[in-house]
């Protein structure tokens, strides 16, 4: 069984906003509202993760403006530009049947009927309608929509069980 990460990448500090240390964040969550709703964020350095209490956060033009305790001036805020922000796994609620992308990466993709292993998930991308699994196979990479027509079961301990259409995994 793959060890689950305690901290999840949830965005990136892309700029400052104003002079009081407010940060402009690019959200990597399902929606910017998820990121803006967190009560704490973490920054990582060589010593581990440092917790910052979120004093105030709001969504502005698909970005998140966040004021973090301990970052109270423009110079300090600018020193954090381009850093990844993390959330504690337990701070983000998941709907029934939902999974964190990081937990899907590395899972084998298995035929639900024959148990043939097609490959493993190396990335999950989203272009709007649904997630798309990028699957590394013996002959390269292929993509598969993560929809009920193909995905039968996701078991984080065993793999992703699928029923692909003919030719999906052929070279």
pLDDT of residue 96: 85
Distances (CA, A) of 161 to 114, 122, 131: 10, 15, 16
Longest Cα–Cα distance of the chain, Å, equals 60
Query: Distance between CA atoms of 79 and 67, rounded to whole angstroms?
Result: 15
pLDDT of residue 45: 92
Half-sphere exposure of 82 (CA within 13 A, CB side): 1
Q: Find the mean pLDDT for residues 135-156.
A: 92
- Tell me: pLDDT of 1 over 80: no
Q: Give 68-110 pLDDT, tens digit per residue.
A: 999 999 999 999 999 999 999 999 988 888 889 899 999 999 9
Are 13 and 82 contained in the same domain? yes
Number of domains making up the chain: 2
Half-sphere exposure of 131 (CA within 13 A, CB side): 17
From 66, 90, 114, the end of a domain falls on 90
Q: Is the residue at 167 inside a domain?
A: no
Higher pLDDT, 98 or 119: 119
Are 82 and 122 contained in the same domain? no
pLDDT of residue 109: 96
Write down the mean pLDDT value for the chain: 92
Are 17 and 38 contained in the same domain? yes
pLDDT of residue 8: 95
Q: Find the mean pLDDT for residues 144-165.
A: 93
DSSP-derived pairing of the beta strands 140-145 and 131-137: antiparallel
Q: Is the residue at 75 inside a domain?
A: yes
From 61, 90, 119, the end of a domain falls on 90
Are 84 and 140 contained in the same domain? no
Q: How many residues does the chain have?
A: 171
CATH number of the domain encompassing residue 114: 2.30.30.240
**pTM of the predicted model as reported, rounded to 2 decimal places:** 0.82
| Backbone torsion region of residue 103, taken as left when φ is above 0, otherwise alpha when ψ lies between -120 and 50, otherwise beta | alpha
Q: Is the residue at 95 inside a domain?
A: no
Token digits for 61? 């033009």
Helix (H, G, I), strand (E, B) or coil at 154: strand
From 90, 123, 154, the end of a domain falls on 90
Q: Is the residue at 40 inside a domain?
A: yes
Q: Is the residue at 157 inside a domain?
A: yes
CATH number of the domain encompassing residue 50: 2.40.30.60
Are 69 and 22 contained in the same domain? yes
Q: Which residues contact 127 (CB under 8 A, 6 or more apart)?
A: none
């Amino acid at each position: 069984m793959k060890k689950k990460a305690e901290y999840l990448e949830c965005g990136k500090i892309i700029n400052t906003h104003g002079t009081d240390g407010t940060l402009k964040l690019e959200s990597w969550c399902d929606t910017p509202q998820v990121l803006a709703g967190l009560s704490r964020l973490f920054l990582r350095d060589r010593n581990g993760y440092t917790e910052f209490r979120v004093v105030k956060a709001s969504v502005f033009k698909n970005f998140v403006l966040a004021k973090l305790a301990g970052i109270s001036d423009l110079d300090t805020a600018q020193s954090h530009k381009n850093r990844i922000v993390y959330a504690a796994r337990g701070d983000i609620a998941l709907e029934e049947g939902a999974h964190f992308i990081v937990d899907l990466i590395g899972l084998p993709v298995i035929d639900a009927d024959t148990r043939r292993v097609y490959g493993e998930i190396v990335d999950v991308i989203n272009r709007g309608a649904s997630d798309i699994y990028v699957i590394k196979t013996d002959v390269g990479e292929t993509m598969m929509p993560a929809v009920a027509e193909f995905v039968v079961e996701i078991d984080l301990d065993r793999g992703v069980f699928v029923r692909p259409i003919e030719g999906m995994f052929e070279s």
